[in-house]
Amino acid sequence: MSAAQGDPGDQVSAGPGDGAAPPDAQEYAGELGGFVLARGAVDRMSVRRGDNDWLAAAWADPRTRVLVLDNARALVRFGDKEAELILVPPSEAPDGLRFLLGVDDAGAAYFGVMGPPGCLDSLIKDVEVPAGDSPAAEQDAAQQDAAEQDATGQETARQAAPEAEEPAEEASGEEASEDETPEQEAPEQQTVTEQVAWLARARPGLRPAGLREAAALLNDRDAGLFTHAVALANWHATHTHCPRCGTPTVTVAAGHAQRCPADGSEHFPRIDPAVIMLVTDPDDRCLLARNRRWPERRVSILAGFVEPGEAAEQAVAREVEEETGIAVTRVRYVGSQPWPMPQSLMLGFRAAAVGELELRVDDDEIAEANWYSREELRRALAAREILLPPPVSIAHRLIESWYGEELPGVW
């Protein structure tokens, strides 16, 4: 990090430490870091959101870059083992609702723009396509958003990450893709890192992609920009009128608030806190369950929304008891990541089971639940009896932290 060298974005707070170099993003993580969507490398510049002169100057600056969104997807160039966002100068961005994402160490500003449907397809034509891109991959790219679900070539139904379906309404943010067919079989028994790299190689080139597919391959800056932009876009897409009087709102604060022109009320992006918890028993076995709405074999740790008037720790205990009949103690927060599909903040916890360990699943929500030792998990994954959530999810990271090393294979 070199932000302390001076910020052309002027008068940016140096952040904690006041004059010292800002800490790395990792240093802002909780006890457990390494969450794919909890990254970022730009100053969000919240102090400038109401400064229209500054915003206009930033938009006119030739260094400024714009992340164009179409229905929460962006244009991504997938390379061999990584991916990058395609960011365009303001002059090439379509018209649409605009929000400030931040300013980097070099003083370049970043905006997001919600373009009209299909805008990414026309953007592709404007962006250089390097030789070697697969025409086939581009051709069907418009329908493909969740390649991460399908590394094995065996799961054809969409498998949203557990965070995407538990809490329930999170699945609604992105379109499903029902008929994905990878061009080749992924090798078996590979690590998740290898699978992610395989996905990039299997479908290289330039295409619209969602957070779930691209985030794990993006660098810190791009992952942070994309997550921030998707969160704002999903809010704007579903909150267009004043909740008090029904008048259409106007966007203010560089896209981070709305104001009602009739009654003057201000409205801010809605974020739904949800807890997700890795529960262990006295033998240090891990509790994994399958939600009734998930495909066969998909399992994860338990999760649920925090209810009104409830602390996060209380929500952990309540959800575990409701879904499996297990009582927990030592509920301990370990870290969080945004999950803007459409608007959650996932709060990660560890908890210890006490008392009766027999699992009594709530048949409404949970189809099955089991305790796994590390060896049992290793065997079940190797035999493809179960699939774990993808690396972009906080669930994956929590399970990995308990497992003690990179999780083997298959999701």
User: For residues 278 and 398, is the Cβ–Cβ distance under 8 A?
Assistant: yes
User: To 10 degrees, the CA torsion angle through 121, 123, 127, 129?
Assistant: 0
User: For residues 104 and 111, is the Cβ–Cβ distance under 8 A?
Assistant: no
Is residue 245 close enough to count as binding Zn ion by CB under 5 A? yes
Is residue 262 close enough to count as binding Zn ion by CB under 5 A? yes
Our CB check for Zn ion shows the closer of 60 and 245 to be: 245
Our CB check for Zn ion shows the closer of 195 and 258 to be: 258
- Three-state secondary structure call for residue 56: helix
Is residue 250 close enough to count as binding Zn ion by CB under 5 A? no
Rule CB under 5 A: choose which of 58, 164, 260, 299 binds Zn ion: 260
Is residue 266 close enough to count as binding Zn ion by CB under 5 A? no
User: For residues 180 and 188, is the Cβ–Cβ distance under 8 A?
Assistant: no
Nearest distance from C-beta of residue 249 to Zn ion, angstroms = 8
Nearest distance from C-beta of residue 245 to Zn ion, angstroms = 3
Rule CB under 5 A: choose which of 154, 193, 240, 247 binds Zn ion: 247
- Three-state secondary structure call for residue 62: coil
Q: Which stretch binds Zn ion (CB under 5 A): 120-128, 240-248, 272-280, 324-332?
A: 240-248
Is residue 244 close enough to count as binding Zn ion by CB under 5 A? yes
Q: Which stretch binds Zn ion (CB under 5 A): 68-76, 183-191, 258-266, 370-378?
A: 258-266
Our CB check for Zn ion shows the closer of 201 and 241 to be: 241
Q: Count the alpha carbons within 13 Å of 216 in the hemisphere toward its beta carbon.
A: 24
CB atoms within 10 A of CB 324: 23
User: For residues 317 and 327, is the Cβ–Cβ distance under 8 A?
Assistant: yes
Is residue 249 close enough to count as binding Zn ion by CB under 5 A? no
User: For residues 218 and 227, is the Cβ–Cβ distance under 8 A?
Assistant: no
- Number of residues lying near Zn ion (CB under 5 A): 7
Provide the CA 126 distance to its chain's centre, in angstroms: 27
Q: Which stretch binds Zn ion (CB under 5 A): 116-124, 219-227, 256-264, 324-332?
A: 256-264
User: To 10 degrees, the CA torsion angle through 138, 40, 305, 167?
Assistant: 10
Nearest distance from C-beta of residue 242 to Zn ion, angstroms = 3
Is residue 377 close enough to count as binding Zn ion by CB under 5 A? no
Q: Which stretch binds Zn ion (CB under 5 A): 90-98, 174-182, 255-263, 314-322?
A: 255-263
Nearest distance from C-beta of residue 269 to Zn ion, angstroms = 17
* Separation of alpha carbons 324 and 320, rounded Å: 6
Radius of gyration over alpha carbons of the chain, in Å?
A: 22
Binding site for Zn ion (CB under 5 A): 242, 244-245, 247, 260, 262-263
